[in-house]
């Protein structure tokens, strides 16, 4: 049986996942080709609705366009209200993994199982100031737990170190769970994230503000792997 996108990501850990929130959407194919050339394993897609979070980004058409452009794993992070109403549409658009926020669903375990029934990986995300038990109570059902190190909604925010203890606790209690971290991950913070147990490291400005994506990703990967091998 061929590996699933989720197992491939697990095997590539620690893996850098570029967040396309800060890419040049006027040259989307060029951006994707540059990231492919840099050797990334997946693309992280932040979907915001202007309601659950105070920002508005993109929806299914961009996901579908990316699916047409690349075979890279598409890791779709739904920062939206009523996410289960749209999960199937995002699956149909090409999402390989769909993560929803514990703050946006009334029954997190049921939400995870509904997403898994669509044949894609299912994740739960948690904001820094949400009580941690909101995700720990459902973590055993998840394929991925996404620990936010900034409040969901905008790129370029400073890293909140509360994420490190949350990652470490999830790694201790769920050693086989894929752990992802998103927000403020850069050359200065990435090593602390892998030390705490993160497998997938979502990075935005620390890639897209550099002239060479390959160089930026190589530097980030080296920092993540050096720290991971030393821990």
- Annotated catalytic residues are 46, 182
**CA pair distance 215, 192, nearest whole angstrom:** 20
From residue 173, give the alpha-carbon distance in Å to each of 85, 91, 107, 125, 137. Answer: 31, 30, 21, 17, 11
Q: How far is CA 49 from the centre of its chain?
A: 17
Region of 21 please: left (phi>0), alpha (psi -120 to 50) or beta.
alpha
Smallest CA-to-CA distance from 66 within 131, 115, 20, 119 is with 20
DSSP code, position 49:
B
Please, what is the end-to-end C-alpha distance for the chain in angstroms? Answer: 33
């Amino acid at each position: 049986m061929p590996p699933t996108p989720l197992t491939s990501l697990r095997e590539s850990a620690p893996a850098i996942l570029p967040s396309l929130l800060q890419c040049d959407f006027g040259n989307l194919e060029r951006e994707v080709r540059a990231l492919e050339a840099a050797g990334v394993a997946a693309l992280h897609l932040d979907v915001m609705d202007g309601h659950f979070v105070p920002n508005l980004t993109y929806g299914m058409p961009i996901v579908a366009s990316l699916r047409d452009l690349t075979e890279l794993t598409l890791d779709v992070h739904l920062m939206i209200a009523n996410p289960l109403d749209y999960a199937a549409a995002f699956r149909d658009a090409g999402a390989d993994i769909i993560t929803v926020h514990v703050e946006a669903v009334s029954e997190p375990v049921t939400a995870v199982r509904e997403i898994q029934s669509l044949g894609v990986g299912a994740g739960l995300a948690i904001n820094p100031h949400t009580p941690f038990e909101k995700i720990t109570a459902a973590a055993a059902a998840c394929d991925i737990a996404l620990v936010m190190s900034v409040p969901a909604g905008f790129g370029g925010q400073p890293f909140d170190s509360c994420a490190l203890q949350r990652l470490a606790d999830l790694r201790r209690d769920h050693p086989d769970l894929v752990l992802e971290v998103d927000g403020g991950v850069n050359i200065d913070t990435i090593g602390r994230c892998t030390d705490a147990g993160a497998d997938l490291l979502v990075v935005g400005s620390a890639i897209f503000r550099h002239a060479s994506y390959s160089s930026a990703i190589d530097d980030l990967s080296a920092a993540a792997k050096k720290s991971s091998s030393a821990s």
